[in-house]
């Protein structure tokens, strides 16, 4: 049986003490990388306790939004996401919508598996929440890593 806890590796980065945040993926949780200029959440999101899993992510992003005015690439993609996780992603995107100069500094890429109309539709729903470049991209698999090249450079 898989443990409930997830691996999180905080690293100090040069943004007023805000630490880099990494969560390794599990069978139930996505890979997460939060760092200056990049927010990456990709994988399966069906944690037993979404609040426990996403609260630190939301808090990190909330702090980041307050101190960051720089270009930020946000990559989101889920092979599956449950309703509770969707609510957290919704709240995270609403928080991101408060960034300074949002339209000039933020671009969001929502990846979904080829033929997955539900994930595509969810991407368009989330796109309606923010006034910034938001791309809904069909891919052959959502299994991306933070080191993968972005589909296209939009910044």
Secondary structure of the chain: what % helix, strand, coil (to 5)? 30, 30, 40
> What is the SS3 assignment for 27?
coil
Digit-by-digit pLDDT tens for the chain (155 residues) are 344 444 444 444 445 668 889 999 999 999 999 998 899 999 999 999 999 999 999 999 999 988 876 789 999 999 999 999 999 999 999 998 888 888 888 899 999 999 999 999 999 999 998 888 999 999 876 665 545 544 444 44
> What is the SS3 assignment for 46?
coil
> What is the SS3 assignment for 10?
coil
Name the nearest CA neighbour of 93 among 139, 137, 66, 125. 125
Domains of the chain from N-terminus onward: 11-139 (3.30.750)
46-58 CB burial, b ≥16 within 10 A, e <16: bbeebeebbeebe
Q: Which residue blocks in the chain are alpha helix, DSSP H?
A: 50-67, 83-96, 102-105, 117-127
Distances from the Cα of 92 to the Cαs of 50, 124, 141, 153, in angstroms? 13, 16, 23, 23
Say what the pLDDT of residue 18 is.
81
Distances from the Cα of 41 to the Cαs of 1, 16, 78, 101, in angstroms? 24, 23, 8, 22
Say what the pLDDT of residue 143 is.
62
Say what the pLDDT of residue 43 is.
94
How many other CB atoms are there within 10 angstroms of residue 24's CB atom? 13
Rg (CA), the chain: 15
Say what the pLDDT of residue 129 is.
86
Say what the pLDDT of residue 147 is.
53
């Amino acid at each position: 049986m898989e443990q409930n806890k997830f691996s999180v590796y905080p690293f100090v980065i040069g943004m007023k003490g805000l630490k880099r945040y990494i969560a390794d993926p599990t069978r139930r949780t996505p890979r997460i990388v939060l760092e200056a200029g990049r927010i990456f959440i990709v994988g399966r999101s069906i944690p037993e306790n979404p609040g426990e899993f996403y609260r630190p992510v939301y808090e990190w992003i909330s702090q980041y939004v307050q101190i960051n005015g720089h270009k930020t690439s946000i990559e989101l993609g889920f092979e599956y996401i449950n309703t509770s996780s969707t609510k957290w992603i919704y709240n995270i995107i609403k928080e991101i919508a408060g960034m300074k100069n949002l339209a000039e500094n933020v671009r969001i890429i929502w990846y979904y598996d080829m033929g997955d109309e539900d994930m595509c539709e969810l991407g368009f729903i989330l796109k309606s929440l923010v006034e910034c470049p938001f791309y809904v991209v069909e891919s052959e698999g959502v299994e991306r890593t933070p080191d993968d090249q972005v589909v296209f450079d939009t910044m």
